Amino acid sequence: MTYSHKFGSDWIVSPEIRFYSQTGASFFAKRFLLPRTNMSADYRLSPFGSLLGGLTLTRRLNDAMSANFGGTVTSQYSNDPILLTVPSENARATSVSAADMTVITVTFGFTWTF
């Protein structure tokens, strides 16, 4: 969802938010004890979710041109953790997922209408 709000005749502020969630495929598992007709261990079929928040500021330069600057932060996670073990005696094993990450994006744009 994005909402654009105009300030004066030259400025637009556009906050945005996005939520995404998917359940795992019925034929997904990390391990299968017995063969099945349909089965996959592809992590992209596991449960997954993401949340994005962002803000863009647009400035009208004249009747034909505008410039914008924005940024977003996306956090995504999966319910398919992989247990990592560390070869040290004192270290603790930790679980991570190939999908777990936070991404920061910065954008700059220029629009020219002719």
pLDDT tens-digit series, residues 38-59: 988 877 788 889 999 999 999 9
What's the pLDDT band for 108 if we cut at 50, 70, 90?
very high
Could you write out the DSSP letters of every residue in 21-49? EEPPPTTB-S--SS--SS-B--GGGS-EE
Residue 78: is it exposed, middle or buried by C-beta count within 10 angstroms (0-12/13-18/19+)? buried
pLDDT tens-digit series, residues 67-107: 999 999 999 987 666 655 566 666 666 666 667 889 999 99
Strand partners, 15: 55
The pTM for the full model equals 0.70
Which residue's structure tokens are 């991570």? Answer: 96
Which residue's structure tokens are 């063969």? Answer: 35
Q: Residue 45: what pLDDT? A: 83
pLDDT tens-digit series, residues 24-37: 888 888 778 888 88
Q: Residue 88: what pLDDT? A: 65
